[in-house]
Copies of this chain bind each other. A is one copy, B any other.
């Protein structure tokens, strides 16, 4: 039994309707010819704030009881969740406080502030982050929204695959990247309900393959040092996401680091989509033939498009 139900995803969808975008589904005859399947790319790079994270953040903010809403939300994040929570809070008219390591990318700090959040810096270490968040919560009465292990966040992330299935019908296989596990966990719960026979494969970069190793070992591996170009996938699994993945997933594919940027470049070049390396991790197994999809209908979640344009490859 998992902590996220189909009902929660179904309700999330109604709750975030009009707050998040219904993102387009794109196809490429070149990619279809290359891999022999029919591939449907769910383009969360076009989501508000540039990634799927907006879905979960918007759902979590919308579900807050009114007393908590008034005080505001906080989260530690130096990545896409920071912007997603900042915008979700802004749209709900409530304060957001984001804790970022002092060595964060200045562009991401500015973007987060641009959505109206207050940014608090901390030393770039796990303990410093936790204590800064704890202090803020105590002082301001903020509600912590965990970027990938909050159940409302996971439910929100499950809405992307619902839209894809609604639009394109039955699928044989679904591919999504695995970082902290929020996207793949939400996708699993939704897909198992909507398409009981679909195969769902999580895609993990070789330089942060903790999910594959955690499943193998039967317990979460938390003590590892990620070394991957896919900066959105460096986080270990959460307690809730691990439980859901463990129960529902068919397979984790570990994607060689050297295939990630070529896959990203291919998608930019041929599909004209700006995607970030984490998104390319879910497309790479098709392009490098790690997974055989001949004759299959395949859904791929392109998770986001926030990447440095100056020197992308």
Which residues in A have some Cβ–Cβ distance to B below 8 Å?
24, 26, 29, 43, 45-46, 48, 50, 265, 268-269, 271-275, 305, 309-310, 312-313
Contact = CB atoms under 8 A, between A and B. Distances in A.
A46 B46 CA distance: 14
Contacts of A310: 313
Contact of A309 (B26, B46, B313): B313
Contact of A272 (B46, B265, B312, B313): B46
A46 B28 CA distance: 10
A20 to B, nearest CB: 12
Nearest to A304: B272
23 contacts: A24-B24, A26-B46, A29-B48, A43-B272, A45-B272, A46-B271, A46-B272, A50-B272, A265-B309, A268-B274, A268-B309, A269-B274, A269-B309, A272-B273, A272-B274, A272-B275, A272-B305, A273-B273, A273-B274, A274-B274, A309-B312, A309-B313, A310-B313
Contacts of A265: 309
Contacts of A50: 272
Contacts of A29: 48
Contacts of A309: 265, 268-269, 312-313
A254 B29 CA distance: 37
Contacts of A274: 268-269, 272-274
Contacts of A272: 43, 45-46, 50, 273-275, 305
Nearest to A274: B272
A133 to B, nearest CB: 29
